[in-house]
A and B are shown apart, each in its own frame.
Chain A
Amino acid sequence: MYSEKVMDHFEHPRNVGEIENASGVGTVGNAKCGDIMRIYLDIDENEMIRDVKFKTFGCGAAVATSSMATELVKGKSIREAMQVTNKAVMEALDGLPPVKVHCSLLAEEAIHAALWDYAEKHGIKIEGLEKPKSDIHEGEEEEEEEY
């Protein structure tokens, strides 16, 4: 079902954990739908992401996308981190099954939520960053009618 890359990131997730006094923390998703991601960012004075950690409650794809997303933003500038889209996360994982695409959206949202938190705390504005949605499942397509 999953690519080797997804399995690798699920079994050996990178950057699991917490950061004390993080520059920004973002939590997205909800337990009702079965996935929650929390991303911690440590951002230095030059607006570079010095460190990043995550915690995730969710399926294999949710863990793998969080792990990959942290890898993709680590050591990057805030602006570069803004370019890390769900597509980029998916590509880096050699794809996801269609029913799991929402996990990659969640990962993108989690990064944005953490950046939003950072921006709010520091009274700055990050170009292109919008207030994160509280529920990423909003507006998702309904299942097809049967018969």
Chain B
Amino acid sequence: MEKLIYLDNAATTKTAPEVLEAMLPYFTENYGNPSSVYGFASKNKNAVNRQREIIADALGAKPEEIYFTAGGSEADNWALKAAAEAYEEKGRHIITTKIEHHAILHTGEYLEKRGFQVTYLNVDEDGMVSLKELKEAIRPDTILISVMFANNEIGTLEPIKEIGEIAHERGILFHTDAVQAFGQVPINVDECCIDMLSASGHKLNGPKGIGFLYIRKGVKIRSFIHGGAQERKRRAGTENVPGIIGLGAAAARAVRTMKERTAKEEELRDYLINRVLEEIPYCRLNGHRTKRLPNNANFSFQFIEGESLLIKLDRKGICGSSGSACTSGSLDPSHVLLAIGLPHETAHGSLRLTLGEDTEREDIDYVVDSLKEIVAGLRAMSPLYEDFIKKNQKGV
């Protein structure tokens, strides 16, 4: 078999065999609609509610505060749009950050077109939100603060507890997009004063198209999908039972394996970061050096462009991703890399590698060795590198 080293686990992960196994009967023999009265189907309601308990336990929440959605994007949309609508009498100002996922940013823009005002907080060069700037941005009409738990590109972990406390003290709702963090770092909604939290199954070795929104009891946001009485009348639609079972199984597994798994990932991540920074010239690490997701490494290589780097890596069986414009179909590189202050050309040359539970040390060695060769090759044909070298030679 051809070599495949999958280092794009922030994009999605492989569904774990035990998760798939838990799901399978719910496609076949346990196909009943959880809302039906007969015992054959209502067993499925119990099964769905068991997953709610598992997820609530993982967050220190109550089961009735977990609402299943069709993924992280839906949860983000729901949280912002419904909170805006529910609290608009109080005010029409929302605070978020410049480095959110598009599920938040584009929803923010949508709300702006409908008469809301949105402040997008800056971040520092590590991608960290400033608490001072947050406090200064708060106004009497601020109704919601939404800051991601961990950034999907550069892996930086935000000061969620501190942000939650600030929001709580001022009586402002606090939402966090924890799609990348849930299952990777311990989260407790009470300790962090979180009122709403989004997560998604496919980032934690669960299935795609399933996620949840945690909504603290008492938060009065309305339903987003109208219809039947599922999810306490707040999210209509016959439950995606196999998906929910898979999400629950994945969450249980993620909690059970978290300590050991993330310790191993962190060690390999640091090994990767150190080798790359030491062995490849003109390169930098993006994101905070220590306060970052255990499996995330993000580099910028000067003088080269990310898409060509990805194709070359692909040819060697290595899957990664880049914040280059060419991989997004637009002319601008990643908004996250620009927000941390990278010049456009450095942002174009970025590479994100996100490890998984199966990643081994020899994989990292192979990746670093390949990277050294590829980066050197691309630089050899880069006019930017040529100019840089010539300028240096003249300088001597």
Interface residue ranges, A against B (CB under 8 Å): 7, 10-11, 13, 16-18, 27, 31-38, 54-63, 99, 137, 140, 143, 146-147
Contacts of B333 in A (CB 8 A): 34
Q: Counting chain A CB atoms within 10 Å of each CB, which of B110, B307, B333, B382 scores highest?
A: B307
Asked if B28 is at the interface of the complex by the 8 Å CB criterion, the answer is no
Q: Counting chain A CB atoms within 10 Å of each CB, which of B110, B330, B383 scores highest?
A: B383
Q: Which residue of B lies closest to A7 (CB)?
A: B311
Residues of B298-319 whose CB lies within 8 A of A: 303-305, 307-308, 311, 315
Contact between chains at B106 and A60 (CB < 8 Å):
no
User: Among the listed B106, B325, B331, B383, which residue makes an inter-chain contact with A56, where contact means beta carbons less than 8 Å apart?
Assistant: B383
Contacts of B348 in A (CB 8 A): 31, 34
Contacts of B344 in A (CB 8 A): 31-34
Q: Specify the main secondary structure of chain B where it touches its partner.
A: helix
B-side interface size class: 20 to 34
Q: How far is the CA of A16 from the CA of B383 in the complex (A)?
A: 11
Interface residue ranges, B against A (CB under 8 Å): 106, 110, 113, 303-305, 307-308, 311, 315, 324-326, 329-331, 333, 344-345, 348, 380-386
Write the nearest CB–CB distance from A73 to chain B, whole angstroms.
18
Contact between chains at B382 and A10 (CB < 8 Å):
no
Contact between chains at B311 and A55 (CB < 8 Å):
no
Q: Knowing A35-B305, A59-B324, A146-B106 touch, does A99 contact B329 (C-beta < 8 A)?
A: yes
User: Among the listed B311, B326, B381, B386, which residue makes an inter-chain contact with A34, where contact means beta carbons less than 8 Å apart?
Assistant: B326
Q: Which residue of A lies closest to B327 (CB)?
A: A59
Q: How far is the CA of A137 from the CA of B383 in the complex (A)?
A: 19
Given A31-B345, A56-B383, A140-B331, 15 extra CB contacts under 8 A: A7-B311, A33-B325, A34-B324, A34-B348, A36-B384, A38-B386, A54-B381, A55-B382, A56-B382, A59-B307, A59-B308, A60-B311, A60-B326, A62-B308, A143-B330
Write the nearest CB–CB distance from A58 to chain B, whole angstroms.
5
